[in-house]
Structure 1
Amino acid sequence: MVLGGGLFLLALDVGDTLLKWANWALRPAYLIQQSILVLSCLVGMITEKRWVQVIAAAAAFTSMLVYMFREMGIL
């Protein structure tokens, strides 16, 4: 249920980003980060193994941190 809500929020985020113009939404860093988040949510919903869900959640969290620090110019 939580990951399904995550997919819904991702859809809202993509819609909001598209309102900022397509060139903002089509940046490679944004596309890669959103793809990792979507795949992590899907893997977490499909699999029943807890360790796979933990790895998917860690990948999603890490991708968000890397994206945030990269956009702020820290990395």
Structure 2
Amino acid sequence: MDAPLVEIKVRDDGPYKVTGPVRLIDADGAVFDVPADRPIALCRCGHSQTKPFCDATHKAAGFESCPRARAAQS
């Protein structure tokens, strides 16, 4: 099985870590300049001053969230 081109990892009490080539587009259709060769971290807590990117404010804000994937039901 081939590895996915893009991986989005939910980090405990932190951001979404996105690895792989992605296009990040705002509500007006403008494209954010993101490095194709480095992972990016997207804010999940809503407190970042650099939204949609994480600036680690979640730590000071006391953000807590540790979701786990559920097994697929057949």
TM-score by length of 2: 0.23
Q: Highest CA radius of gyration, 1 or 2?
A: 2
The structure whose residues are more often helix, as a share, is 1
TM-score by length of 1: 0.23
